[in-house]
Chains A and B, each alone.
Chain A
Amino acid sequence: MADFLFSRVSASRQYVYSLSSVLVVSIICYWLSAYIGYKVVAFVLLLTVSLIAGLFDILQVLMSALLSALIWDFFFIPPKFNIHVDSAGDAILLLMYFLIVMINAVLTYKIKTIQKEARKKIERENIVKLYNTFLNSLSHELRTPIATIIAATDNLLTCNSNLTSLNRHELLVEISKASFRLNQQVENLLNISRLEAGFIQPKNDWVDINELVYDVVKRLEENKASQEVSININPNFPLFKVDKGMLQQVLYNLLNNATQYTPSETKISIIAANYADILEITIEDNGKGFPEEERAKVFDKFYRLKKSKSGGTGLGLSIVKGFVEAMKGTITLENISTGGARFIIRIFAEVSHLKTAKHE
């Protein structure tokens, strides 16, 4: 833990912290030296440097070790205020002190390095695992429609004379559906690569939130989902200056997710509210909600719920989060106590109440 706390502190700061703690401890010991004797001081300093070794980088630790040895020698070992050491015993003690403190520093450093590498390895393994699942589901998501198209067109090309016109029509409908599914996946992939490349810049313009939400719901209706979607937005909702395309994609992905992963009798609702210049859009359903232990991970790239049905790539919600954050907004997910999930998007944006005013 300590490693995380201080690894972000700059090297020069680390020098200041480690050396000054040696100095402070030395000063306290100096006051107490009459009661505790100079040999006890060595142990106190040793402990100090050991603690420093646990917190800071190797160079700073070695410097504090050296400093503590010099201080002990100069201020504590008799004769005081002198580099010289009187007895042979004290000289051995000083040498031992120096060696122990150095060995301590190096060993701590080694342990820390090994720990860090182990952590990195686990992280890497997790990413590889996630990536493999992603590749599997992606290839499934892309190959299924392609397989449909190839099979259907083969059928149409080779057995044309044996097909009834109804069969032919059915095959064509399948080809059309598969093409749309493919197009949607490609769009997701393009979006995630835009986010990954890091040059996604919101193009903000005045957006009629009512119009946008109804547009998204209309697009969703083309997927023929069975869930009931209700929209609850004041007809005079103010205009907000946001990236329309991004917000549309965000809402579409959330609603599409809700229709894909909830039972068919589920009710989904979209609510928009505004608090001064904060736009808040809530999408909630009365389905099963998310498993509590996985709730925090659902926005991670490639992450898919452990018990989710096949299909899907784990990109949808990560695009949602990426887009919302690109618009300097936040998104939260909570489970509703009576059942269901609630996504809340909050975006800080310029607002215009022009719509509520009377116009001539």
Chain B
Amino acid sequence: MNKAEILVIDDETPIQKLLDITLQTNGYAVRLAGNANEGLAMAASHPPELILLDLGLPDEDGHVVLQKLREWYTEPVIILSVQSSETDIIKALDNGANDYLTKPFRTGELLARMRSALRSAWPNESEPIAVFGDVEMDFAARTVRKSGETIKLTSTEYSLFSLFAKHEGKVLTHQYLLREVWGAGYINQSQYLRVFIAQLRKKIEDDPNRPAMIVTESGVGYRFIGKD
């Protein structure tokens, strides 16, 4: 099997080195770029399967690099950013980043995000039933089962859950969820989202107070973890 090729665009040598070792030992082929221009050139000359892009680059704003990439590059881009810059993260996700990681991050987390991003790059559209642990989503019958028993979901809860199921492992921003489920006029009505997330958790989580499937990404949105 061919190794998936990853392009890392980050100017910090220690981070480059760390990512290089971590990714290689986990079976990826790695190429490193130390600045935006180098990164864009490397991506264009030989497009990788996934790009890890640091937002704080010396020669160009990471958001601009992302926009330039997204003009032609369709494979996953994962953003690396420093802590507590939620606005930056939301902006990057809106501009087409698939996911994000805040420094400092755990290696396990990085690998899980990469796996999920690479997986969703080739979605298995034909499957009518998706299985997430003991939860089963039947897209054809529009039903959800937990431990074999059908769960009664309201139509809003169903729309919300099917969005999560279709984007398993990916972070979905508050605005995205509100727009998709309630409509463009509701993107500032985050209270609806809070309420329905709480209801959905009560129905599908083992312990709704300690959610393991619908995980909160503070200040950004929610992530559905059904596999791994």
Residues of A participating in the B interface, judged by any CB pair closer than 8 Å: 179, 183, 187, 190, 203, 205-208, 210-211, 214-215, 218, 231, 239, 244-245, 248, 352, 354-355, 359-360
> A208-B194, A208-B198 are known contacts. Are A244 and B104 too (CB-CB below 8 A)?
no
Query: Which chain B residues in 175-228 approach chain A with CB under 8 Å?
Result: 190-199, 209-210, 216, 218-219
Asked whether, in the complex, the Cβ of B210 is within 8 Å of the Cβ of A214, the reply is yes
Contacts of B194 in A (CB 8 A): 206-208, 211, 239, 355
Asked whether, in the complex, the Cβ of A205 is within 8 Å of the Cβ of B190, the reply is yes
A-B contact pairs, 17 of them (CB 8 A): A203-B219, A206-B194, A208-B197, A211-B209, A215-B216, A239-B195, A244-B218, A245-B84, A245-B218, A354-B192, A355-B198, A359-B154, A359-B196, A359-B199, A360-B154, A360-B155, A360-B156
Asked whether, in the complex, the Cβ of B191 is within 8 Å of the Cβ of A352, the reply is yes
How near does chain A come to B161, taking the closest CB pair, in angstroms? Answer: 14
Contacts of A190 in B (CB 8 A): 84
Contacts of B190 in A (CB 8 A): 205-206
Bound state CA distance, A215 and B216, in angstroms?
9
Interface of B is mostly: helix
Bound state CA distance, A218 and B210, in angstroms?
8
How near does chain B come to A357, taking the closest CB pair, in angstroms? Answer: 8
Asked whether, in the complex, the Cβ of B104 is within 8 Å of the Cβ of A183, the reply is yes
Q: How many residues of B contact A (CB 8 A)?
A: 22
**Sorted from nearest, which 8 A-B pairs have the closest CB atoms?**
A206-B191, A214-B209, A208-B194, A352-B191, A206-B190, A355-B195, A206-B194, A354-B195
Asked whether, in the complex, the Cβ of A211 is within 8 Å of the Cβ of B198, the reply is yes
Bound state CA distance, A85 and B203, in angstroms?
100
Contacts of A203 in B (CB 8 A): 219
Contacts of A210 in B (CB 8 A): 198, 209
Task: Name A214's closest neighbour in chain B (CB-CB).
Answer: B209
Contacts of A359 in B (CB 8 A): 154, 156, 195-196, 199
Bound state CA distance, A355 and B192, in angstroms?
8
How near does chain B come to A193, taking the closest CB pair, in angstroms? Answer: 13
Bound state CA distance, A354 and B189, in angstroms?
11
How near does chain B come to A56, taking the closest CB pair, in angstroms? Answer: 50
Task: Name B202's closest neighbour in chain A (CB-CB).
Answer: A235
Bound state CA distance, A179 and B105, in angstroms?
11
Between B194, B199, B216, the greatest number of chain A beta carbons within 10 A of the residue's beta carbon is seen for B194
How near does chain B come to A214, taking the closest CB pair, in angstroms? Answer: 5
How near does chain A come to B216, taking the closest CB pair, in angstroms? Answer: 6
